Amino acid sequence: MHAPIHLALSWLVGSRLTERRDRRLVTWSGTLPDVDAISLVWGVESYVKYHHVIAHGIVAAGAVAVSCAVFGRNRLKTALLGVVAFHLHVLCDLVGSGAQGQPWPIVYWWPFSDRELFFPYGWDLASPENAVVWLGAIALTCVVAVRYGRTFAEAFLPARADAAVVAVVRKYLKPLRSDAAPVG
Protein backbone atom coordinates (compact mmCIF):
# COMPACT_ATOMS: atom_id res chain seq x y z
CA MET A 1 0.00 0.00 0.00
CA HIS A 2 1.01 3.61 -0.38
CA ALA A 3 2.68 5.54 2.45
CA PRO A 4 -0.29 7.91 3.05
CA ILE A 5 -2.56 4.91 3.62
CA HIS A 6 -0.10 3.47 6.13
CA LEU A 7 0.12 6.84 7.84
CA ALA A 8 -3.65 7.22 8.17
CA LEU A 9 -4.26 3.63 9.30
CA SER A 10 -1.42 3.77 11.84
CA TRP A 11 -2.72 7.03 13.23
CA LEU A 12 -6.18 5.49 13.57
CA VAL A 13 -4.66 2.64 15.61
CA GLY A 14 -3.38 5.14 18.18
CA SER A 15 -5.99 7.88 17.76
CA ARG A 16 -7.66 7.25 21.12
CA LEU A 17 -4.44 7.71 23.09
CA THR A 18 -4.66 10.86 25.21
CA GLU A 19 -1.09 12.10 24.65
CA ARG A 20 -0.23 13.63 21.30
CA ARG A 21 3.34 12.34 21.62
CA ASP A 22 2.05 8.78 22.02
CA ARG A 23 -0.26 9.10 19.01
CA ARG A 24 2.65 10.37 16.93
CA LEU A 25 4.88 7.50 18.05
CA VAL A 26 2.24 4.94 17.08
CA THR A 27 1.67 6.67 13.75
CA TRP A 28 5.33 6.67 12.81
CA SER A 29 5.71 3.09 14.07
CA GLY A 30 3.23 2.01 11.43
CA THR A 31 4.99 4.04 8.77
CA LEU A 32 8.55 3.04 9.73
CA PRO A 33 8.72 -0.15 7.66
CA ASP A 34 8.87 1.91 4.48
CA VAL A 35 12.21 3.39 5.54
CA ASP A 36 13.76 0.52 3.60
CA ALA A 37 12.43 2.16 0.43
CA ILE A 38 15.55 4.35 0.64
CA SER A 39 17.21 1.46 -1.18
CA LEU A 40 15.76 3.03 -4.34
CA VAL A 41 18.61 5.55 -4.14
CA TRP A 42 20.90 2.73 -5.24
CA GLY A 43 18.66 1.78 -8.14
CA VAL A 44 15.56 -0.23 -8.93
CA GLU A 45 17.39 -3.53 -8.46
CA SER A 46 18.34 -2.58 -4.90
CA TYR A 47 14.80 -1.44 -4.19
CA VAL A 48 13.32 -4.71 -5.42
CA LYS A 49 15.90 -6.67 -3.43
CA TYR A 50 15.68 -4.78 -0.08
CA HIS A 51 12.25 -3.16 0.16
CA HIS A 52 9.97 -5.41 2.25
CA VAL A 53 13.11 -6.97 3.75
CA ILE A 54 15.20 -4.72 5.99
CA ALA A 55 12.51 -2.84 7.91
CA HIS A 56 9.45 -5.07 7.43
CA GLY A 57 10.42 -7.74 9.93
CA ILE A 58 10.91 -8.89 13.46
CA VAL A 59 14.03 -6.80 14.17
CA ALA A 60 12.29 -3.57 13.16
CA ALA A 61 9.20 -4.57 15.17
CA GLY A 62 11.42 -4.99 18.22
CA ALA A 63 12.98 -1.58 17.62
CA VAL A 64 9.49 -0.08 17.41
CA ALA A 65 8.45 -1.67 20.71
CA VAL A 66 11.57 -0.45 22.51
CA SER A 67 11.39 3.07 21.03
CA CYS A 68 7.71 3.48 21.94
CA ALA A 69 8.33 2.18 25.46
CA VAL A 70 11.27 4.54 25.96
CA PHE A 71 9.75 7.70 24.46
CA GLY A 72 6.04 7.23 25.15
CA ARG A 73 4.29 8.79 28.09
CA ASN A 74 1.94 5.83 28.49
CA ARG A 75 4.77 3.42 27.80
CA LEU A 76 3.04 0.06 27.74
CA LYS A 77 0.00 1.15 25.73
CA THR A 78 2.14 3.11 23.29
CA ALA A 79 4.53 0.19 22.78
CA LEU A 80 1.67 -2.28 22.24
CA LEU A 81 -0.16 -0.01 19.81
CA GLY A 82 3.11 0.80 18.04
CA VAL A 83 3.68 -2.90 17.43
CA VAL A 84 0.06 -3.28 16.28
CA ALA A 85 0.49 -0.38 13.83
CA PHE A 86 3.78 -1.86 12.60
CA HIS A 87 2.18 -5.23 11.94
CA LEU A 88 -0.85 -3.62 10.32
CA HIS A 89 1.60 -2.08 7.85
CA VAL A 90 3.13 -5.49 7.15
CA LEU A 91 -0.32 -7.06 6.74
CA CYS A 92 -1.44 -4.28 4.38
CA ASP A 93 1.71 -4.75 2.31
CA LEU A 94 1.13 -8.49 2.13
CA VAL A 95 -2.42 -7.95 0.89
CA GLY A 96 -2.14 -4.74 -1.13
CA SER A 97 1.33 -4.37 -2.62
CA GLY A 98 1.46 -6.72 -5.53
CA ALA A 99 2.34 -5.83 -9.10
CA GLN A 100 0.86 -7.22 -12.30
CA GLY A 101 -1.06 -9.87 -10.38
CA GLN A 102 2.00 -11.09 -8.48
CA PRO A 103 2.20 -10.74 -4.68
CA TRP A 104 5.21 -8.92 -3.27
CA PRO A 105 6.68 -11.03 -0.45
CA ILE A 106 7.78 -9.87 3.00
CA VAL A 107 10.98 -11.29 4.49
CA TYR A 108 9.71 -11.01 8.07
CA TRP A 109 12.42 -13.06 9.81
CA TRP A 110 15.38 -11.31 8.12
CA PRO A 111 18.31 -11.36 9.04
CA PHE A 112 17.70 -14.74 10.73
CA SER A 113 16.05 -16.27 7.67
CA ASP A 114 15.49 -15.37 4.02
CA ARG A 115 12.12 -17.15 3.98
CA GLU A 116 9.57 -15.09 2.08
CA LEU A 117 5.99 -14.71 3.28
CA PHE A 118 3.33 -13.81 0.76
CA PHE A 119 -0.44 -13.73 0.38
CA PRO A 120 -1.45 -15.23 -2.98
CA TYR A 121 -4.84 -13.49 -3.10
CA GLY A 122 -3.61 -9.94 -2.68
CA TRP A 123 -4.10 -7.10 -5.07
CA ASP A 124 -1.87 -4.73 -6.98
CA LEU A 125 -0.49 -1.56 -5.43
CA ALA A 126 -2.42 0.55 -7.95
CA SER A 127 -5.83 -1.03 -7.39
CA PRO A 128 -9.41 -0.07 -6.62
CA GLU A 129 -9.13 -2.02 -3.37
CA ASN A 130 -6.33 0.23 -2.11
CA ALA A 131 -8.40 3.26 -3.11
CA VAL A 132 -11.31 1.93 -1.03
CA VAL A 133 -9.02 1.40 1.98
CA TRP A 134 -7.68 4.96 1.56
CA LEU A 135 -11.18 6.45 1.35
CA GLY A 136 -12.25 4.45 4.40
CA ALA A 137 -9.25 5.70 6.37
CA ILE A 138 -10.03 9.29 5.39
CA ALA A 139 -13.68 8.84 6.40
CA LEU A 140 -12.69 7.43 9.80
CA THR A 141 -10.17 10.24 10.25
CA CYS A 142 -12.98 12.74 9.65
CA VAL A 143 -15.12 11.02 12.28
CA VAL A 144 -12.26 11.23 14.79
CA ALA A 145 -11.67 14.88 13.84
CA VAL A 146 -15.28 15.78 14.51
CA ARG A 147 -15.58 13.80 17.73
CA TYR A 148 -12.14 14.16 19.31
CA GLY A 149 -10.61 17.21 17.64
CA ARG A 150 -7.56 15.71 15.95
CA THR A 151 -6.47 14.23 12.62
CA PHE A 152 -3.47 12.31 11.35
CA ALA A 153 -2.05 15.69 10.28
CA GLU A 154 -0.82 15.95 13.88
CA ALA A 155 1.79 13.34 13.01
CA PHE A 156 3.69 15.79 10.80
CA LEU A 157 2.23 19.27 11.46
CA PRO A 158 2.30 21.54 14.50
CA ALA A 159 -0.72 21.33 16.81
CA ARG A 160 -2.07 24.65 15.48
CA ALA A 161 -2.10 23.37 11.92
CA ASP A 162 -3.91 20.20 12.95
CA ALA A 163 -6.44 22.35 14.81
CA ALA A 164 -7.04 24.27 11.57
CA VAL A 165 -7.63 21.00 9.69
CA VAL A 166 -10.06 19.91 12.42
CA ALA A 167 -11.91 23.24 12.17
CA VAL A 168 -12.45 22.76 8.44
CA VAL A 169 -13.59 19.16 8.85
CA ARG A 170 -15.96 20.13 11.67
CA LYS A 171 -17.38 22.97 9.62
CA TYR A 172 -18.46 20.59 6.88
CA LEU A 173 -19.29 17.53 8.99
CA LYS A 174 -20.93 19.03 12.06
CA PRO A 175 -23.80 16.46 12.14
CA LEU A 176 -21.26 13.76 13.14
CA ARG A 177 -20.46 15.49 16.44
CA SER A 178 -21.72 13.55 19.41
CA ASP A 179 -22.77 16.81 21.11
CA ALA A 180 -24.53 18.16 18.01
CA ALA A 181 -28.30 18.62 18.20
CA PRO A 182 -30.22 15.67 16.73
CA VAL A 183 -31.58 16.17 13.26
CA GLY A 184 -35.38 16.01 12.86
Does a structural domain hold residue 102?
yes
H helices within the chain, ranges in order? Answer: 3-14, 20-31, 44-50, 58-71, 75-96, 128-148, 159-172
C-alpha span between 151 and 166 (Å, rounded): 7
Domain residue limits at 34? 3-176
Does a structural domain hold residue 127?
yes
pTM of the model: 0.90
Position 102 scores a pLDDT of: 79
Q: Is the pLDDT of residue 17 over 80?
A: yes
The band of 115, judged by pLDDT with boundaries at 50, 70 and 90, is very high
The band of 183, judged by pLDDT with boundaries at 50, 70 and 90, is very low
Position 101 scores a pLDDT of: 76
Mean pLDDT of 105-129: 91
Range from 9-18, 70-79, 95-104, 159-168 carrying the lowest mean pLDDT: 95-104
Does a structural domain hold residue 58?
yes
First to last CA, the chain: 41
Position 99 scores a pLDDT of: 77
Does a structural domain hold residue 183?
no
Mean pLDDT across the chain, nearest whole number? 91
pLDDT in tens, 118-147: 888 888 888 999 999 999 999 999 999 999
Q: Is the pLDDT of residue 155 over 60?
A: yes
Does a structural domain hold residue 163?
yes
Q: What is the enclosing helix (H) or strand (E) of 55?
A: none
Mean pLDDT of 113-118: 94
Distance of CA 41 to CAs 51, 60, 66, 99, Å? 12, 21, 28, 20
Among 88, 120, 89, 86, which Cα is nearest to 104's? 120
Does a structural domain hold residue 181?
no
The band of 178, judged by pLDDT with boundaries at 50, 70 and 90, is low
Does a structural domain hold residue 184?
no
Q: What total number of domains does the chain contain?
A: 1
Q: Is the pLDDT of residue 80 over 50?
A: yes
